[in-house]
Every structure is written in C-alpha cells, then in structure tokens.
Structure 1
C-alpha cells in the first residue's frame, strides 16, 4: 500500500474504487475458506463423532453456506459482505437513465435503477463462490492424476473403482466392444484434462492480470472476466444505499381500517409469526454487521502475526522438550521366524531373477525387485492367485483384475534410486 499512499488524490476517481482495494477484497476472500477449514479440523480432533462428517463434506457445505450469505448481501447491498466491509458495491455498467419526470430528483429511485439484476446477481455469485469451489475440485482431481500419470508412462489408465464398475457392466451383458470404447474415451478425456488443465488455468490468470491492468488504466470498470461479460462495474457505497437498505429492512406502517369481521385462528397465528420475524430479521442484520467485520479484522491480525513471527522462537521452545524413547513392542513368533529367514539375504539381489537389481522398484510391503521382474510377475499371475506380494503373500491394494485385458492392472510400483 506504499504506492497507494504516494498517489495524487486529485487524480483519483471518487466514485470508483482503486485496484488495491479490490485486490485486498479478493485476498481476504481467499483466506476465509482455509481459516474455516482449519478451525473445523482443529475441533474435529476433539469431537470426531460429531464433526467428522461435516469435515468430509466441507467443500459442499461451505459452498451452500457462503452461497446463502453472499446471495443475501448481493441482493440487499449489491456487494459481498467483504466488499461491503470495504465500502464497495457492484452496479450495472450501463444502467437505464430515466427522464427527470420519472424520479423528480429522488436519489433513492435513481439508485435502484443502477442495482444489479437477477442475472447479474447469479453471475456475481458464480464469480465469488462457484468458481473457487470448481477450481478446488479440479485441482484436487489433477493432483490425484499426477502419480498415475508418472507411473504409467505418460498415460492415465482407468482407476480400480472404474474397473470394478466396468466388470459389473460386463456382467450385466453389456457388449465388450462398447465397454472397451467407453473406457478408451474416458482415458482420452482424462489425458486431455491432465495435459491442458494447467495451461487453461495459467491462461485464465493471464487474462485476469490483463483485465486488472485495463482497470488500473481506466480502460474498463470491471475487475474479472465474468464481471466484464455480465457488464458489472465497481462503485462505492453511498448514503443513498444505506437509506435504501434501511427502507427495505424497516417495514412500512400500514393503516388498518377497523372492521367487524372476526379474526380467524390462522390470521392470528400469521400475525404473531410476522411480529416475531421482523425483530429477528433486524437482530440478524445487526449481528452480521458486527460479527463479520470483527472476524475480518481477526483474519487480518492473524495474517500479520504469522508473517512477522520469527521461526527461531518456535525452535527454541521445541528445544526445551525431550522426545521420549519409543516403546518396545514384543514381536510375535511369525515375525521372528520371518526376520530369521531374511536376515542373511543380500538386499542388492532381486528375489525373482536372483540377479543384481536393475532399475529397482518397490511394492507396498517395502520389498525391492527389478522393476521389469516384479511388474511382469504381478501382471501375469492368475486371477485367483495373483495380486499378492511374492515374499510375504499379502494382498496388494494397487493391483486390480481387468476383465477386458484378462490380466492384472499394476499401479502400486514405485521406482527406487539406490
């Protein structure tokens, strides 16, 4: 913000917020979801039975909760609650300007014309909540494909779950040719996604940077791609906006005419419910206007504290504690016999070809073989006896039987550098 303080205030637009305020809003918005996730994960360790399901479905619940909050703020204030904290609002880039006879100088009516439409509210909701959720899911899926891609010679094979589903489809008398075509199509789409997702993400970042530069040079009034396509611009909250929101929250007094018609039970219940809802709505708005800015200040303080904390202080505090020795666990008779059999075995010799290790690869049980030997051994075993470690005989989770190729699909090999 040093550059912002050195700008000439006479050359700045009073109604249009600066790029630094918008960048601060987006930066603070990106801190909310990780902070909530961290707090939820912390308390899940204390109350796992209650919060474990919430933590497992955090992304979807966060999308729903933040979507409701942001929708109410966009509908009421034409801004998200963080933008409202900074005194920024969103408005239509090309509002319809009425004639003087339509509003007669009334600023409230003219302010309602520049408010967001329903389509613009939904596009703002997509820009604020939907795209971050989609980006998180795609990034997690891409990270899952990285080890599969590296282990299968630059191709992403079908995972074990989809192969089991394919086997069920084969049992339901689906033609094998159609099943193989579908599997190849899924593999092709997955490979294209793995290769071009980083390029697409980088391209979107460059476009966003270009729009930021255009906004900084007053060539556009939008700060993102969706805002530019939806014709949404930024402005500042004024006194007319607060008057408009106050007129929405405060119910208008309705003159009731006395009548001799007796009230029914349902009308009495509805009137009582309305009398309870109105003060609760006021309390909800007042508490959100107090709690949310306080939480924003707390996030800013924690960000500053973590950025200025000296890591040497943590190392000094850790030096005071001594790590207790690990408890000795008694070995069973099976483990003792197994250790005795493998005590004199040379670790540089492959247990399959009995020669020196060439291009070594490790499996889930920790044993190292020649990569080619163990791969062909696990692949060519029968359906009944395969998928196990050749030394211990334990079941390997990375091996799955393929009904189409009639062989074992091996995905649990890891190359070892000696």
Structure 2
C-alpha cells in the first residue's frame, strides 16, 4: 500500500506532470502574499492616516492592478503565473506535447483573467457577505423591504454556494491525485491549459525572449520603439516586484502565519494606535470645528445622539447609524482620521437607556 501511495503522489523522472504537493504549494504561495501585504498597508495607514489612508481604502483595487502586471509579465515570459514559475512549473495547452512555445492567444487571455479576476471577486464577495451580516445583526435596514428579503435569501444560500465551490476544487484534486484528471483545479480546465514542469529547453527559450528586443530594436519604427519601451518598463516593474516577492516570500508566509488569528490582529491594531489627544473643552471658544459644543450632539449629523456609539480607535462618540455608514464608506474616524473598521464600533448603554 505504501508503494502504491508513493506512486500516486510522485512522478517518474521522465514525466513532466507535477505532483499534488507542487500544485498545492504554488497555490498557497499567493494565498500567503495577499494577507501579508494587507497587514503592511494597515501598519502604514495606522502610522500616518493622511498619507497612507488611501492605500488602505483602495487596497483591493491596487492589489488587483499589481497582480495583473505580475501575472501578465510571467504569462508572456514563462507561460506561467508567478507562483507556478516560482515552483518550476509552466502552462501548456491541453493535449500539447509540452515543448516550449507561447500560449495561444485564447488560452493566454483566459488564464490572465482567471488568475486576476477570480481572487478579486472572491474577496469582494466575502466582504459583501460580512457587511450584510453586520447590517442584519444591527437591523440597519427595514426588515419589510424587498431589498432586505433579498439580502436574507442571499445570506441563507451563500454557505451552500461556498460549500459547492470548495467541494468542486476538492473533487478535482482527488481526481488529479488518482490520475483520473489533467487538472487539479476547474479554473485550469476553463482556461484550456494544464500544468507541466519546466525543462532545460524552456529556460533557454526564456533567455532568448529577453534578448530578442535588443537585437531587433534598430529595425523598428518610432511607434514600435515606443511600444517596446513601454512594454519593457512594465516588464521591469513586474520583474522588480516579482524579485522582491521571491526574496521575501518566506518572510511573508511567516507574517501570514503570525497574524492568522483575527482577534489577535484586532488587539494588536488597537494597542499600536497612537493615543489621540483628549478633546478640547466644548465650552471654550477654541474648540475643534469638527466637534459640536454640546456633549450630547453627534459630530456628524449635528443632532442629539441616538444609540450612542464610540469608535475604539479614537474614543469619539457618534450616533450608531451615522458612525456605521461613515466607517463603512470611508474606513476611518471622521474626527481623528485613524483607520477604522466596523468591528471597532462600540455601543454605549446608559443606565437610563
């Protein structure tokens, strides 16, 4: 039995089919990079909200753009994604002999879109589900509205959709382990490609690709030269980013493991925030223009507070509805500017309430 199991999970010297350990390892690489970079941006935003707050609010879009440049560079240069190339793998068209040749245009664009858009849409969907659950817990929306009923139906069906999605990936991996399938992921099947190991001929061909533009640059027209320069600039940015990720990949994986607990991350973020200066006395003429003179008035709506809610990052108190919508849209405290999430809202209950 042991020999049979070893045969399933390993490959012979002449076989270019990667093992299940290699394909799972390359997938976990990009899964570790994103949370690590997310934490780095969060630390920067906490240290200087005015300068780095935009990076925190638009992190998903900026990461998608960075991922697009990175994957486009590696698909054009190595016929593989960044993580696949890192582990010595490449993408070939289904049924191909495995010789080094550029991916067909159709498979190239399918691979690029699936590599970039699927993770981005998944993150956005998870954030949407989290926000809808918080709104349902605090009854932000009218329970009799059609939108509320639609959201409840969506939240009820989401666990089954996610279970089906994860089950589909598990099914493909089991078929790949048992040699009943060419793909360990349904996304590879949609792209029309399969994974194979890099060979010595592939490495030589990749070196020739980098030498071709310099050899033919003299015979190019002006527009072709401009296009070549732009392509080289984008490739240089992608190469520098990929080199930095390659050198720091193990450090990023360590950060992802260290901050894997959400509660630990929240406590650390609260403890490392700079202590805000105490509010000025409201009856003085030199009070902050962002704060009302009366202590019972919300700084946002300028009315008497309803359902007092404090922000754990700054300590200022608002109406719950005002604080909720402002933090949801801006991810910061309206007075101090500190990065703030919905989990930092603290409801205050008075003895008379």
Superposition TM-score, scaled by structure 1 size = 0.55
Q: Quick one: structure 1 residues 158 and 75, their matched pair in 2 at CA, closer, same or farther if it must change by over 3 Å?
A: farther
Tell me if structure 1 keeps the 8 A contact 2:93–2:192.
yes
Q: CA deviation at 1:297?
A: 2.9
What does residue range 134-173 of structure 1 map to in structure 2 within 5 Å?
134-150=121-137, 157=141
Q: 2:100 aligns with which of 66, 86, 111?
A: 111
Q: Which residue of 2 aligns with 1:162?
A: none
What does residue range 12-411 of structure 1 map to in structure 2 within 5 Å?
12-13=11-12, 14-95=15-96, 110-112=99-101, 115-150=102-137, 157=141, 184=146, 186-251=147-212, 253=215, 287=240, 290-302=243-255, 364-365=307-308, 397=321
Q: Quick one: structure 1 residues 219 and 61, their matched pair in 2 at CA, closer, same or farther if it must change by over 3 Å?
A: same
Q: Distance in 1 between matches of 2:217 and 2:281?
A: 86
| CA-to-aligned-CA distance 1:198-223 (integer Å, 9 cap, x gap) | 21011100111111101111111112
Q: Which residue of 2 aligns with 1:335?
A: none
Q: Which residue of 1 aligns with 2:6?
A: 7
Q: Distance in 2 between matches of 1:293 and 1:123?
A: 25
Q: CA deviation at 1:30?
A: 0.8
Structure with greater contact order relative to length (CA < 8 Å, sep ≥ 6): 2
Q: Quick one: structure 1 residues 300 and 243, their matched pair in 2 at CA, closer, same or farther if it must change by over 3 Å?
A: same
Q: Distance in 1 between matches of 2:259 and 2:321?
A: 41
Q: CA deviation at 1:235?
A: 0.5
Tell me if structure 1 keeps the 8 A contact 2:8–2:178.
no
Tell me if structure 1 keeps the 8 A contact 2:70–2:242.
no
| CA-to-aligned-CA distance 1:160-201 (integer Å, 9 cap, x gap) | xxxxxxxxxxxxxxxxxxxx9xx63x4443232221112101
Q: Distance in 2 between matches of 1:84 and 1:248?
A: 16
Q: Distance in 2 between matches of 1:274 and 1:134?
A: 31
Q: Quick one: structure 1 residues 52 and 241, their matched pair in 2 at CA, closer, same or farther if it must change by over 3 Å?
A: same
Q: Distance in 2 between matches of 1:135 and 1:203?
A: 14
Q: Distance in 2 between matches of 1:197 and 1:244?
A: 46
Q: Which residue of 1 aligns with 2:330?
A: none
Give SS of 1:89's match. Answer: strand
Q: In terms of Rg, which structure is larger?
A: 1
Tell me if structure 2 keeps the 8 A contact 1:71–1:121.
no
| CA-to-aligned-CA distance 1:322-371 (integer Å, 9 cap, x gap) | xxxxx9x9898xxxxx9xxxxxxxxxxxxxxxxxxxxxxxx6138xxxxx
Tell me if structure 2 keeps the 8 A contact 1:222–1:231.
no
Q: Distance in 1 between matches of 2:195 and 2:141?
A: 47
Q: Which residue of 2 aligns with 1:351?
A: none
Q: Quick one: structure 1 residues 139 and 208, their matched pair in 2 at CA, closer, same or farther if it must change by over 3 Å?
A: same
Root mean square deviation of aligned Cα: 4.7
Q: CA deviation at 1:47?
A: 3.0
How many positions carry a matched residue from both structures? Answer: 284
Tell me if structure 1 keeps the 8 A contact 2:70–2:241.
no
Tell me if structure 2 keeps the 8 A contact 1:37–1:58.
yes
Q: Quick one: structure 1 residues 238 and 56, their matched pair in 2 at CA, closer, same or farther if it must change by over 3 Å?
A: same
